[in-house]
RNA sequence: UGGGCUAUGGCCAAGUGGUUAAGGCAUCGGACUUUGACUCCGACAUCGAUGGUUCGAAUCCAUCUAGCCCAGCCA
């Protein structure tokens, strides 16, 4: 597939800033709150922030926005680092907003001294009641006119733990009638005695996002602060805080559209519910689009990069079809994955004219178009397994390119075989297919006296390795009501386990994704034991095969 | 309803007054094929609506419509 770097408006902004001399190079950051696991939606922010910095000679930081101790945990900071590193987006500095708590406090004090912030004694309910609503202006807090001296004392007392949780807040003094709700004297510090994952019990006051975030960016010298669209109307408050706290560096907030994937569970809190309820097997369940779930499923990070870059960085917001993502997974794996034979639903084939009870060994490339991937030994012998759906007793029509009685097909990388009779059980289910092979037709021999009806794959019965294979379907029922709660949309058959075989001489690398020839891409799951492999289906192969009858 | 934002083919998305309206995914034809895969050829839009400005508009103006976000001491 043709792959080109998408043009987008943020690239234009950065180019202009460099040309005008405003910045020598961009400094970007990815600022997650460590309160859950990262998912495919976050990949856009991570990859784009990283790529933009890299591309224009700047650098990219990872900063944990850990200003709310009750929701955050070191478990998440570690998992996020692992996921981002796996994506290959290397950060220059690993930073924590909590490291700036002292600076933030000082800057808030600057606001107090300028008369731009005041300590408010209103309760949370009272603040809500006086904020007004979308079309009604709010009312000034009765504490808005406190003296600067009193505010300084009170704010210091807040920090020193003189008041109970929630008793007071520090608020910015802006405009209670502003049509932008964010400008109506937003709270910038709250009192909350909670154990912070890094600062422990050092603080009992914590800054709010609107105040903390711009300062974090400014402190780090971030030039272009990318965030998603819902923060667009926070930009005035962002700029207000940077300006009035006298920060020397002025970052610019730029908003882009979030990446939304249709019919997928996204949003850290939604995924957390499924995890907590045991409806999925943890944050790395392969049916989830968490980065760790995708990794476990076997999706290569390169595929995620291709997908993200193909989408670009738009300001509009639509629902992307997960199939488009899978296409990029196939795209990358198609050129890089080793191919091997595997049979998921085996039926036995007996080669009646095979002269020996010991299998012979043949050689086959791992990838026809990538010889550097090498070759492997495959076995052929008297007893084989093929895929049940590759055989039908009577060839139904000319388009049938698989096997049938009296039909000759090529067994890939081996010989032509012709089926003569079937053995069925009492229920009429085929147990064995009896066939003969033609020694002259060996793969690579150049034999071309006859054309086979088609090519199917097989494994040799005695050398094949039994494996467990997990087949995934969408976690949510397709086209279920997007407004319904996720719990009600769960697809009961989203995971199926089958037992099949892979060819005998292959030794997978850890986490390796293979192409099971003619079936799809399958990756080794960490549940695998030595000699007892477990494979996850990453994606199926595309197929233009359209059966015009029931093959049962 | 106050404020902010978005609307280009089934999906994603370029385009910022003069182009046959990029590209990817999907779809439909066809070629090739030791994977019904890959690859390769070919087909596939008048730009949310209406009215205006202009020699000329997806691009400018006006009005309208639809969708998203904002009333946490969350981020």
Q: How distant is C1' of B4 from CA of A227, in Å?
A: 15
Cβ atoms within 10 Å of A274's Cβ, excluding its own: 21
A384 touches strand B (CB under 7 A): no
Answer yes or no: is A257 CB < 7 A from strand B. yes
Report how far apart, in Å, the C-alpha atoms of A390 and of each of A120, A395, A397, A413, A501 are: 75, 11, 14, 16, 16
* Nearest residue by alpha-carbon distance to C1' of B15: A7
What is the pLDDT, as a whole number, of residue A2? Answer: 54
> At residue A4, does pLDDT exceed 60?
no
Dist CA A143 CA A147 (whole Å) = 9
Residues 6 or more apart whose CB falls under 8 angstroms from that of A179 comprise none
pLDDT reading at A479 higher than 90: no
Decide: CB of A206 under 7 A of nucleic strand B. yes
- Residues A263 and A486: their CA atoms lie apart, in Å, by 10
Average pLDDT for residues A358-381, to the nearest whole number? 97
Which nucleotide is nearest to A64 if distance is taken from CA to C1'? B75
* B strand bases under 7 Å from protein CB: 1-8, 10-16, 22-28, 34-39, 68-75
Please check whether strand B approaches the CB of A172 to within 7 Å: no
Other beta carbons within 10 angstroms of residue A468's beta carbon come to 16
pLDDT at A273 over 60: yes
Q: What is the pLDDT of residue A70?
A: 97
| Helix (H/G/I), strand (E/B), else coil: A382 | coil
User: Stated in angstroms, how far is A318 CA from B58 C1'?
Assistant: 19
Give me the pLDDT at residue A464, please. 98
Mean pLDDT of A277-291: 95
Q: What is the DSSP letter of A548?
A: S
- Residue A497 burial by Cβ neighbours in a 10 Å radius (0-12, 13-18, 19+): exposed
Within 10 A of A368 (CB to CB), how many other CB atoms are there?
9
Whether nucleic acid strand B comes within 7 Å of the CB of A71, the answer is yes
Q: How many angstroms is C1' of B69 away from CA of A344?
A: 48
Q: How far is the CA of A238 from the C1' of B50 (A)?
A: 39
Would you place residue A318 in the very low, low, confident or very high pLDDT band (cuts 50, 70, 90)? confident
Distance A183 CA to B71 C1' (A): 12
A531 touches strand B (CB under 7 A): no
Angstrom distance (rounded) from CA A257 to CA A267: 15
pLDDT in tens, A8-65: 899 999 999 999 999 999 999 999 999 999 999 999 999 999 999 999 999 999 999 9
- HSE-CB at A157 with a 13 A cutoff on CA atoms is 15
> Tell me: the pLDDT tens digits for A390-419?
999 999 998 999 999 999 999 999 999 999
At residue A552 the predicted structure's pLDDT band, cuts being 50, 70 and 90, is very low
Does the CB of A309 fall within 7 Å of any strand B atom? Answer: no
Band of residue A1 on the pLDDT scale cut at 50, 70, 90: low
Predicted ipTM of the assembly: 0.96
Q: Give strand letter and number of the nucleotide nearest A2 (CA to C1').
A: B24
Question: Is the C-beta of residue A192 closer than 7 Å to nucleic acid chain B?
Answer: yes
Q: A249 CA to B46 C1', in Å?
A: 47
- How far is it, in rounded angstroms, from Cα A542 to Cα A519? 9
Q: Is the pLDDT of residue A443 over 70?
A: yes
Q: CA of A543 vs C1' of B20, distance in Å?
A: 34
Contact (CB, 8 A) for A408 and A416: yes
CA dihedral A363, A368, A372, A373 (to 10 degrees): -70
Average pLDDT over residues A485-501: 91
CA atom of A318 to C1′ atom of B51, Å = 29
Residue A5's pLDDT is what? 61
- Dist CA A497 CA A253 (whole Å): 47
Answer whether any strand B atom is within 7 A of the Cβ of A134.
yes
| Mean pLDDT of the region A131-147 | 97
Positions 436-455 in A, CB within 7 angstroms of strand B: 442-445, 454-455
**What span, in angstroms and rounded, lies between the C-alpha atoms of A92 and A81?**
13
CA to C1' distance (Å), from A76 to B24: 34
Residue A498 to residue A536: CA distance in whole angstroms:
11
Does residue A218 have a pLDDT over 90?
yes
Residue A91's nearest CA partner among A105, A77, A106 is A77
Question: How many Cα neighbours within 13 Å face the side chain of A112?
Answer: 26
pLDDT confidence bin for A289, thresholds 50/70/90: very high
Q: What is the pLDDT of residue A548?
A: 54
* CB of A25 within 7 Å of some strand B atom: no
Q: What is the DSSP string of A212-230?
A: HHHHHHHHHT-SEEEEEGG
Looking across all nucleic acid strands, the nucleotide with the smallest C1' to CA distance from residue A335 is B38
Predicted confidence at residue A49, as pLDDT, reads: 97
What are the CA-CA distances from residue A462 to residues A312, A382, A384, A503, A536 (Å)? Answer: 50, 9, 8, 10, 24
Measuring alpha carbon to C1', the residue closest to nucleotide B69 is A230
Asked whether the whole model's pTM tops 0.90, one would answer yes
d(CA A510, CA A534): 11
Contact indicator for A433, A424 with CB cutoff of 8 Å: no
Residue A550 has pLDDT above 50, yes or no: no
**C1’ B67 / CA A43, Å:** 25
Q: What is the pLDDT of residues A418-439, one digit of tens each?
A: 999 999 999 999 999 999 999 9
Closest nt to residue A370, judged CA to C1': B38
A243 touches strand B (CB under 7 A): no
CA A462, A416, A366: angle at the middle one, nearest 5? 65
Check residue A133 and report its DSSP letter. Answer: B
Instruction: Estimate in Å the CA A220 to C1' B60 gap, whole number.
Output: 41
Q: Residue A261 CA to nucleotide B6 C1', Å?
A: 18
Q: What pLDDT score was predicted for residue A533? A: 97
Indicate if CB(A550) is under 7 A from strand B. Answer: no
Distance from CA(A256) to C1'(B56), angstroms, rounded = 33
């Amino acid at each position: 597939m043709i792959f080109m770097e998408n043009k987008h408006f943020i690239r234009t902004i950065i180019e202009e800033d460099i040309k005008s001399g405003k910045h020598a190079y961009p400094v970007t950051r990815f600022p997650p709150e460590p309160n859950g696991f990262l998912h495919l939606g976050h990949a856009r922010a991570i990859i784009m922030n990283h790529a933009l910095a890299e591309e224009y000679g700047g650098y990219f930081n990872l900063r944990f926005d850990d200003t709310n101790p009750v929701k955050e945990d070191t478990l998440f900071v570690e998992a996020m680092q692992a996921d981002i590193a796996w994506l290959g987006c290397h950060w220059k500095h690993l930073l924590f907003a909590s490291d700036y708590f002292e600076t933030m406090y000082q800057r808030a004090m600057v606001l107090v001294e300028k008369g731009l912030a005041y300590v408010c004694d209103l309760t949370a309910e009272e603040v809500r009641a006086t904020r007004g609503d979308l079309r009604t202006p709010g009312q000034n807090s009765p504490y808005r006119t406190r003296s600067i001296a009193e505010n300084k004392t009170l704010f210091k007392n807040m920090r020193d733990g003189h008041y109970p949780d929630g008793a007071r807040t520090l608020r910015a003094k802006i405009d209670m009638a502003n049509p932008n709700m964010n400008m109506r004297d937003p709270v910038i510090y709250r009192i909350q005695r909670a154990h912070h994952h890094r600062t422990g019990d050092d603080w009992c006051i914590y800054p709010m996002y609107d105040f903390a975030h711009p300062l974090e960016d400014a402190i780090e010298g971030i030039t272009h602060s990318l965030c998603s669209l819902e923060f667009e109307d926070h930009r005035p408050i962002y700029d207000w805080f940077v300006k009035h706290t006298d920060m020397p560096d002025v970052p610019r907030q730029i908003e882009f559209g979030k990446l939304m994937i249709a019919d997928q569970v996204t949003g850290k809190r939604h995924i957390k519910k499924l995890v907590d309820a045991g409806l999925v097997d943890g944050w790395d369940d392969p049916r989830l689009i968490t980065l760790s779930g995708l990794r476990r499923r076997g999706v290569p990070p390169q595929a995620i990069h291709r997908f993200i870059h193909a989408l670009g960085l738009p300001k509009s917001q639509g629902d992307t079809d997960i199939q488009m993502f899978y296409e990029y997974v196939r795209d990358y794996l198609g050129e890089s994955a080793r191919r091997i034979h595997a049979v998921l639903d085996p039926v036995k084939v007996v080669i009646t004219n095979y002269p020996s009870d010991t299998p012979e060994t043949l050689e086959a490339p791992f990838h026809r178009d990538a010889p550097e991937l090498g070759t492997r030994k495959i076995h052929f012998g008297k007893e084989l397994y093929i895929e049940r759906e590759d055989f039908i007793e009577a060839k139904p029509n000319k388009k049938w390119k698989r096997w049938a009685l009296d039909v000759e097909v090529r067994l890939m990388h081996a010989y032509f075989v012709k089926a003569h009779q079937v053995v069925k059980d009492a229920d009429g289910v085929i147990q064995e297919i009896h066939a003969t092979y033609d020694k002259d037709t060996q793969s690579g021999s150049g034999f071309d006296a006859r054309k086979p009806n088609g090519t199917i794959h097989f494994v040799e019965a005695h050398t094949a390795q039994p494996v467990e294979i997990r087949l995934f379907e969408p976690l949510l029922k397709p086209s279920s009501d997007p407004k319904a709660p996720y719990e009600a949309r769960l697809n009961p058959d989203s995971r199926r386990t089958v037992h099949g075989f892979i060819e005998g001489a292959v030794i997978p690398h850890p986490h390796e994704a293979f192409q099971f020839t003619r079936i799809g891409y399958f990756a080794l799951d960490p549940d695998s034991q030595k000699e007892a492999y477990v494979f996850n289906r990453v994606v199926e192969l595309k197929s233009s095969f359209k059966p015009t009858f029931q093959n049962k």
